[in-house]
Amino acid sequence: MSFQVIIKPSDRTFIVEDDDTVLDAAIEAGINLPYGCRNGTCGACKGQLLAGDVEYGEYFDSALSELEKKTGKALFCCARPLADLVIECREVVGEGIPPRIMPVRVEKLEKLSHDVMGMTLKLPSHERMQFMAGQYIEFLLNDGRRRAFSLASAPHQDRFLELHMRLVPGGQFTQYVFNEMQEKTILRIEGPFGTFFLREDSLRPVILVAGGTGFAPVKGIVEHALQQGMKRPMTLYWGARTRADLYLDALPRRWQEEHPWFRYIPVLSDPVPEDAWQGRTGLVHQAVLEDHPDMQAYQVYCCGAPQMVEVAHRDFQAHGLPEQEFFSDAFTFANPGAKAAI
């Protein structure tokens, strides 16, 4: 059975077929709703149900509270229509790039730190993947599961795709990548996904906030800006536990040396004595607030652990950041019954 969805205030419509979620059907229809994890964890796809009923699906309470459900909120990445719907949500400007499934070959595996692996994927010689810097892809595993990783490369580097993978304790896929996977392995991917990409129509100065391997999509965004010849002010705050966790520290330092419009501020939460660290310490989002107590004029792109993204969102808004100027990508673990995101 299929159901019609009307989006307010744009009045755009699309059809949800069979057992699809609202978000999956919107992506299929080329409608660009905001979203991140696609597994009910980050809350980026949250919107208002104005009419109709849904099956809410599997999600984390931190992404959708019972109070929000009672007031008509739903996570469109999990919600499946039980009737025709009228929904209200903010649409992303421009048409989305339709995801595609394609084979890739593991061209290179390189340990960037003790627990971060750099993976380079080669596309078939006659294929290219269109994407926007900051988006992500999903690996389609043989058992039907999926694993999502942000693209660390920029769209103009379209022959190869670069990923940064952190070793997850107990994570079957990352354990396989670190301990068994060989170069030349053939995999299947689907993408691009996500609405975490630079809004190029804005002139606001940009604050980039990365936690750990949240640096990956930020790297793609900065390299895209460089390739496009942009000179929009950008400041990158990269938070990590120790100096070793800043696994590509030399790269943003080089960007800062070569481009006067770019600043780089690394922040360590738990430096060890051998780090001999003379830089900023503490929580990365607090370092942002120390430097920018009034955030009204800025645009923020924040990527990392869900807790960091959630707290940054709350605190930045409390310091004047407009709601529509905060863009995020929360790195999440698999939600049972949903598509995985580690």
Percent above pLDDT 70 for the chain: 96
Percent above pLDDT 90 for the chain: 75
- In this prediction, residue 94 carries a pLDDT of 58
CB-based contact 325:298 (threshold 8 Å): yes
pLDDT at 339 over 50: no
- Top pLDDT among 82 and 334 is at 82
CB-based contact 249:116 (threshold 8 Å): no
- In this prediction, residue 27 carries a pLDDT of 86
DSSP 8-state code for residue 243: G
- Top pLDDT among 27 and 293 is at 293
> Concatenated DSSP letters for 39-96?
SSSS-TTEEEEEES-EE--S--TTTS-HHHHHTTEEETTT-EESS-EEEE-PPPSSPP
Please give the average per-residue pLDDT across 302-312, as a whole number.
92
pTM for this prediction: 0.82
Q: What is the pLDDT of residues 36-65, one digit of tens each?
A: 778 887 788 899 999 999 999 998 887 899
> Alpha-carbon Rg of the chain, whole angstroms?
20
pLDDT at 333 over 70: no
3-state secondary structure of 216: helix
| Residue-averaged pLDDT of the chain | 91
Please give the average per-residue pLDDT across 229-239, as a whole number.
96
- In this prediction, residue 317 carries a pLDDT of 96
Q: What is the pLDDT of residues 180-214, one digit of tens each?
A: 999 999 999 999 998 899 999 999 999 999 999 99
- In this prediction, residue 95 carries a pLDDT of 59
Length of the chain: 342
Q: Which of 125-129, 235-239, 308-312, 338-342 has the lowest mean pLDDT?
A: 338-342
Strands (DSSP E) along the chain, which ranges?
3-8, 12-16, 46-51, 54-55, 73-75, 80-81, 85-88, 100-113, 116-122, 136-140, 146-150, 160-166, 186-193, 206-211, 234-240, 262-268, 280-281, 299-304, 326-330
Please give the average per-residue pLDDT across 4-9, as a whole number.
94
The full set of domains in the chain, from first to last, is 3-88 (3.10.20.30), 100-193 (2.40.30.10), 206-330 (3.40.50.80)
pLDDT at 337 over 80: no
Please give the average per-residue pLDDT across 168-187, as a whole number.
95
pLDDT band at residue 70 using 50, 70 and 90 as cut-offs: very high
Q: What is the pLDDT of residues 74-126, one digit of tens each?
A: 999 999 999 999 999 887 765 578 899 999 999 999 999 999 999 999 999 88
pLDDT at 336 over 90: no
